[in-house]
Structure 1
Amino acid sequence: MSTCPACGNASTAKLFEVTADQASRSFVNPRQYPDRSRKLTGHLSLLWGRDTCDIRKCPDCGFGFADPFVAGGAEFYNLAAPHPSYPAMKWEYARTIEELRGLSTAGKTAIDVGAGFGYFLDLIKDNCFHASDIYAVDYNETAQLALQSKGYKTFSGDLREDDFIPMRGAFDIIFMFQVFEHMDRVDDVFARLKYLLKAQGSVFIAVPNEIRTYYMECHESLIDMPPNHIGRWTKEAFDSICRRHGLRLSICEREPFKLLKFLREDIVDSFLRRAEKPGSFCEFVRGLPRSKAQRIGQAVIALALSPLRLPAWTYAVGNRSTLGSALWVKIDKVS
């Protein structure tokens, strides 16, 4: 019974397991990219030290996690997603900016961990922070070039390592949007966040809403597959790890449910889940050479299958107060 990384409870329950082949198919279509698919399957077996990975859940804090609790590294992401894309706007961006407007940010420093192409930083530059006071971190080389072209001070190291900006109290604000769910060694992460924060500093974190994740998995939509996402954070899990590190969970909110956005995402995600099944028609279409015709074919099939989603949509509408996409928290350094 693996120990919960968030609260330390030694008794956790296994929900299900995934195989290396199943996980690989979630990221790479073997018909479309057979060589990359084989390499990824082999890499996952080596990463886990076996051919399967369990998904477990803590009964105390509700934290869900991959077991082995090991994050994907550069090799994984180069195989699984060599050409990442980043949305220009997210709910958590707007919610964070709303909170920043209530704070005095003049002359303060901020760093965005996992900044992508800098879309969030573009929103706060010259509005909340001076450009010279903004720093950015991202592993991806293309993202680093994009950030540097915008004038941001950019780093590519690991937040948890001692050689990463080794100045105690370097930042007033730290942003981590859709990053923390990818990370292992979570106690090292929080220790480092506290180290890097100035007195009375704050961290803003957004992760996938774990209730939405379980909805998807229970209703034939996408599995939140490791080792991409390895942690399923809850308010209670955040509170536990904050208290352990002398930080305070000040605000925790879920993204509001928007029906049209939900329907668009659910139609796509449920099609992609079907396309992961070996030998299925959806897998065949998904594996055709990339072209405009292939994209149209996928869209037509996804729409044609959408009436089968009506029971799942009925459930979602009945539970809409908890099924927004993101969970957002503000964490404060109190000493």
Structure 2
Amino acid sequence: MTADQASRSFVSPRQYPDRSRKLISHLSLLWGRDTCDIRKCADCGFGFADPFVAGGAEFYNLAAPHPSYPTMKWEYERTIEELSGLGTAGKTAIDVGAGFGYFLDHIKDKLFRASDIYAVDYNEAAQQALRSKGYKTFSVDLREDGFTPMKEAFDIIFMFQVFEHMDRVDDVFARLKYLLKAQGSVFIAVPNDIRTHYMEGHGSLIDMPPNHIGRWTKDAFDAVCRRHGLQLSVCEREPFDLLKFLREDIVDSFLRRAEKPGSVSEFVRGLPRSKAQRIGQAMIALALAPSRLPAWAYAARNSSTLGSALWVKIDKGA
């Protein structure tokens, strides 16, 4: 895809023309060219952006200056279930990409003491929210020298919907192994690659770089774990939820259409933000819903693999 196509996935050029121009220019500089490819490893199925370079603070300030985070997700529930059987009393934990700390709120004082919980996030508003809740907070990349915890500092590391954003994958895993105590565990959730392929093949959103640059599979996790002397212990896909799927598909397919220059969807998406604009978008999305029936029929036949998230538990031996 081109820098212009990628930019339209994040910012409406009608609604925010100046920010759109800046984002297109930034993407071209980030990639060192005006295009980016998405490739796939024939051995492990890992999908990756080429060039394999992550978006940084400037990209996210342009593409998504006001992030929002859900308070509960399936991967949170699944992780809490797993933690409940491990015995976490007196153990330390860190959440990388913690957002406003919604997951940590579920485990504080129930599974971990607040004083044993650490958090990493770049967003300034998120850092303030995390500190206000009593979490020890870092605002630097865990791979960098500015991230100061000692070797074998944590029993548990959480990375929910973060790893797909990251480049320098071997550096990440080397750091995870360094930070984990013996018998420690990492819990990672990423987008389900099968769901991504469904979306892109059936007129829904493209999983656009440089926001997501890695498309992880079970085989890819297993390969990188073996390379670093870690063990992939559990790998599960989120169960399929029909109502959640339909809501998301209606919205995402509308947004995909709204990326097309000159379309009615693009025009309505580009109107000034208001209640009327939101109603207009909803009406168009619902009007287009019947055209999604063939895609929904495919999804119904393959529903066992189309949950939103892929969740893994990775362990470090003694």
By the TM > 0.5 criterion, same fold?
yes
Structure 1 equivalent of residue 275 of structure 2: 292
Deviation of the 1:165 alpha carbon: 2.2
In the alignment, the residues of structure 2 paired with residue 135 and residue 125 of structure 1 have an alpha-carbon distance, to the nearest angstrom, of: 11
Among 250, 258, 262, the alignment partner of 1:279 is: 262
In the alignment, the residues of structure 1 paired with residue 3 and residue 61 of structure 2 have an alpha-carbon distance, to the nearest angstrom, of: 17
SS at match of 2:178: helix
Structure 2 equivalent of residue 248 of structure 1: 231
Structure 2 equivalent of residue 173 of structure 1: 156
Structure 1 equivalent of residue 80 of structure 2: 97
In the alignment, the residues of structure 1 paired with residue 163 and residue 101 of structure 2 have an alpha-carbon distance, to the nearest angstrom, of: 17
Structure 1 stretches of at least 4 aligned residues deviating more than 6 Å after TM superposition: none
Q: Which amino acid aligns with 2:167?
A: D
| Structure 2 spans left out of the alignment, 5+ residues | none
SS at match of 1:139: coil
Structure 1 equivalent of residue 169 of structure 2: 186
In the alignment, the residues of structure 1 paired with residue 170 and residue 87 of structure 2 have an alpha-carbon distance, to the nearest angstrom, of: 29
Structure 1 equivalent of residue 89 of structure 2: 106
Say whether residues 1:35 and 2:23 are aligned partners: no
In the alignment, the residues of structure 2 paired with residue 111 and residue 69 of structure 1 have an alpha-carbon distance, to the nearest angstrom, of: 26
Say whether residues 1:130 and 2:113 are aligned partners: yes
| Structure 1 spans left out of the alignment, 5+ residues | 1-17
Query: C-alpha offsets along residues 259-305 of structure 1, whole Å, 9 cap, x if unaligned?
Result: 00000000000000000001111000000000001001100100000
After TM superposition, the score normalised by the length of structure 2 is 0.99
In the alignment, the residues of structure 1 paired with residue 261 and residue 277 of structure 2 have an alpha-carbon distance, to the nearest angstrom, of: 18
SS at match of 1:129: coil
Structure 2 equivalent of residue 66 of structure 1: 49
Structure 2 equivalent of residue 203 of structure 1: 186
Deviation of the 1:141 alpha carbon: 0.3
SS at match of 2:167: coil
In the TM superposition, 1:136-155 aligns within 5 A as 136-155=119-138
SS at match of 1:52: coil
The count of aligned residue pairs is 318
Say whether residues 1:77 and 2:60 are aligned partners: yes
Deviation of the 1:181 alpha carbon: 0.0
Among 290, 293, 309, the alignment partner of 1:310 is: 293
In angstroms, what is the RMSD of aligned CA positions? 0.5
In the alignment, the residues of structure 1 paired with residue 307 and residue 149 of structure 2 have an alpha-carbon distance, to the nearest angstrom, of: 37
In the alignment, the residues of structure 2 paired with residue 325 and residue 157 of structure 1 have an alpha-carbon distance, to the nearest angstrom, of: 28
Structure 2 equivalent of residue 21 of structure 1: 4
Say whether residues 1:237 and 2:220 are aligned partners: yes
